[in-house]
Amino acid sequence: MTVVLADNCSKWYGHVLGISDVTWTLGGGIVGLLGPNGAGKSTLMKLMAGLLRPSRGGLTVYGKNPFEDVAVRRRIGYAPEHEKTWDELTALELVTVMAKLAGVPARRAESAAKDAIAQMGMTDAQHRRVKGFSKGMRQRTKLATAIAHDPDFLLLDEPLTGVDPIARVDIVERIRRLADGGKTIVVSSHVLYEIEALTSEIVVIYRGQVLAEGNVYEIRKLIDRHPHRIRIECDEPRKVAAALATSDHVARIVFERKGVLIETRDPDRCYDQLAAAVIESGVNVSALSSPDNNLGAVFEYLTGEGGQRR
Amino acid sequence: MSEPAPKLVPSAFASLMTVAGLTWTRLLRGRALVVAVVIALLPIAYCAFAGPRVGPELFVFELLTASVLAPMFVAASIGEEIEDRTTTYLWSRPVPRWTIIAGKLVALVPVVTAVVLGSWIVANQIAWKMMPDERTMAALAIGVAALSILSAGVASLAPRHGMALSIVYILFFDSPLGVLPATIRELSMTQQIRAVSGIWSGNGELKTPLIVLAILCAIWGLIAAARIRRLEA
């Protein structure tokens, strides 16, 4: 069954290009949308969520135009990239409201919200206001709002951004479980290793165009040639650096005002060591991110190699 | 999930009431109400200062207060959703977008009405030691609703500056328009509200100003609904 069908779909914001002539079909499973910031991932996500209209061409979800067709949005769960939400509400209130608006009857909305919050491992914090949540908790709450109405199709825009390594593993596992439950999921990220943890099926998007799609293996080989950078914001960066300094895959360590930036040639090993180091040393990690300059370089390389789709 | 959720789209009424509930909760936990009460104290302070010299201009003063409060609540609420991008949560749900505007009006109009009428009653007690005329109370209540709909329209057209533009429009376009000695003044919302009040303006007739107000509200309501339907997040 075709879930998404983009047919020469383009979107401009005035003179700024969002996506250009994207033709793409999504049948099901988990698919990763990979591309550097500004590549057009969020634009494609918003088009699928019914938040934007194509400037040219068409895009349908389950055969319907999601911008115009209210009913098809009942089947979609969308977690946006941005963190802004109604911070005055508790997590339970927020997810309950979203469930009601998505069509869960009022009498069942709270229990559906509690289920969704539990699925995201947030039960202990469900009565706390979102205002005081860390980035990771906000991400989990956003995911809970997206799944509370039991949608068939999930759109998760950068769901692992800013999440600490331990929570990252946990969230990845929870997203996988949703896919195992039969949901079609599109996850976007500018970090290959985040996507790779979820799926091997990726769509590479760059400068508004689908550059490559299919198995992650080939693109990974290209990306591995470039050092991968990981920025860790924490209270004791020297402890983190010390734990990784002797590893052969670490190319460079740079101390920054709020933490440390690590360049590695083996991101998988680096993330594993990092998670272990954080647990052992008890360092408080407030944010973990991967600057996408390296990915941008790879995409420049890909386009430079001929620009043909792979 | 413990049991499968039915794949139903919420009714427009249910969506509207959910948005209203969300708006109320946020309002009660925010600071806007405190600011509104402070603004509503201005006519009361005027009465306390002017004493027995207060005349029918007090109604216009109260109407000015409503002209600030309605945009402050309605236009700011709509503009904030769009500016903060919380609309991505609302608009990705299977609800008609007009219910979001309507839900906000259902939540906020009674609050603004209560604040304005409270101010009007206390001001009357201080100025004249009496309860205000029922017709003036009705005019203010209708006026608040009308000005709120206007604010929703302006906010949907210019979300970033919705509150400021609504206030500027009412105070510097609609109000001056209403005092022009020409038929065009009938297009002024504040003029019609004054006419409904029976003091300061109009010939005491109710039907015509009410019909004109209803038409003006319908126009602004349609502008808001049409605009919000086409907006992108």
- In this prediction, residue A222 carries a pLDDT of 66
Range with lowest mean pLDDT among A196-210, B1-15, B32-46: B1-15
How high is the mean pLDDT of chain A? Answer: 88
In the structure, what pLDDT confidence band is assigned to residue A107 with cuts at 50, 70 and 90?
very high
Nearest to A239, CA basis, from A260, A220, A219: A260
For testing contact with chain A, the best of B11, B88, B90 (most A CBs within 10 A): B88
Is A56 within 8 Å of chain B by CB? Answer: no
> Same CATH fold, A227-304 and A4-221?
no
Query: Which among B7, B85, B232 has CB closest to A53?
Result: B232
Cβ contact, residue pair B94, A72, below 8 Å: yes
Fold annotation for A227-304: Alpha-Beta Plaits (3.30.70)
Classify each residue of A288-309 as buried b or exposed e, where b means 16 or more C-beta atoms within 10 Å of its C-beta: bbbbbebbbebbeebeeeeeee
Nearest to A75, CA basis, from A50, A57, A97: A50
Nearest residue in chain B measured CA to CA from A93: B22
- In this prediction, residue B52 carries a pLDDT of 77
Per-residue pLDDT tens over the stretch B173-191: 999 999 888 889 999 999 9
Is A95 within 8 Å of chain B by CB? Answer: no
User: What whole-number distance in Å separates Cα of residue B69 and Cα of residue B177?
Assistant: 20
Query: Which among B1, B6, B92 has CB closest to A76?
Result: B92
Fold annotation for A4-221: Rossmann fold (3.40.50)
DSSP annotation of A272 reads H
Question: How many interface pairs between A and B have CB atoms less than 8 angstroms apart?
Answer: 101
In the structure, what pLDDT confidence band is assigned to residue A163 with cuts at 50, 70 and 90?
confident
- In this prediction, residue B5 carries a pLDDT of 46
DSSP, collapsed to helix, strand or coil, labels residue A133 as coil
Give the helix/strand (H/E) hosting A230.
strand A228-234
Is A168 within 8 Å of chain B by CB? Answer: no
Per-residue pLDDT tens over the stretch B55-102: 888 999 999 999 999 999 999 999 999 989 999 999 999 999 999 999
| pLDDT of A305 higher than 50 | no
The Cα-based distances of B84 to A86, B21, B79, B81, B228 in angstroms read: 9, 19, 8, 5, 16
Give the angle subtended at the CA of B212 by the CAs of B231 and B132, to the nearest 5°.
Answer: 105
Per-residue pLDDT tens over the stretch A222-242: 666 667 788 899 888 998 898
Query: Which among A46, A74, A84 has CB closest to B86?
Result: A84
Q: Which residues of chain B have a CB within 8 Å of the CB of A100? A: 10, 14, 18
Tell me what the mean pLDDT of segment A117-128 comes to. 95
| pLDDT of B225 higher than 90 | yes
Residue B138 vs residue B7, higher pLDDT: B138
Q: Which amino acid is at B5?
A: A
Per-residue pLDDT tens over the stretch B97-138: 999 999 999 999 999 999 999 999 999 999 999 999 999 999
Per-residue pLDDT tens over the stretch B191-215: 999 999 987 655 678 899 999 999 9
Query: Which among B4, B14, B88 has CB closest to A80?
Result: B88
Cβ contact, residue pair A111, B19, below 8 Å: no
- In this prediction, residue A282 carries a pLDDT of 86
Residue identified by tokens 């605009």 is B227
ipTM of predicted assembly, 2 dp: 0.88
Q: Identify the contact set of chain B against chain A, taking CB-CB distances under 8 A.
A: 1-10, 14-15, 18-19, 21-22, 25-26, 29-30, 84-86, 88-96, 232-233
| pLDDT of B1 higher than 60 | no
β partners of residue A212: A204
Structure-block tokens of residue A174: 């929870």
Per-residue pLDDT tens over the stretch A165-184: 888 888 999 999 999 989 99
Q: Which residues of chain A have a CB within 8 Å of the CB of B21? A: 97
Structure-block tokens of residue B140: 């203010």
Residue identified by tokens 């539990």 is A118
User: What whole-number distance in Å separates Cα of residue A277 and Cα of residue A269?
Assistant: 12
Is A83 within 8 Å of chain B by CB? Answer: no
Nearest residue in chain B measured CA to CA from A152: B7
Per-residue pLDDT tens over the stretch A74-84: 999 999 999 89
- In this prediction, residue A307 carries a pLDDT of 40
DSSP annotation of A52 reads S
User: What whole-number distance in Å separates Cα of residue B103 and Cα of residue B22?
Assistant: 9
- In this prediction, residue A308 carries a pLDDT of 42
- In this prediction, residue B6 carries a pLDDT of 47
Q: Which residues of chain B have a CB within 8 Å of the CB of A103? A: 5-10, 94
Q: Where are the domains of chain A?
A: 4-221, 227-304
Q: Which amino acid is at B27?
A: L
With a CB cutoff of 8 Å and minimum separation 6, the contacts of B87 are B81, B100, B231, B233
How high is the mean pLDDT of chain B? Answer: 92
User: What is the nearest CA distance from B94 to chain A, expressed in angstroms?
Assistant: 5
Q: Note whether A231 and A263 are within 8 A (CB).
A: no
Residue identified by tokens 């052969």 is A248
User: What is the nearest CA distance from B162 to chain A, expressed in angstroms?
Assistant: 20
State the number of CA atoms in the 13 A half-sphere of B176 facing the CB.
6
The Cα-based distances of A122 to A23, A80, A99, A143, A296 in angstroms read: 38, 18, 16, 11, 35
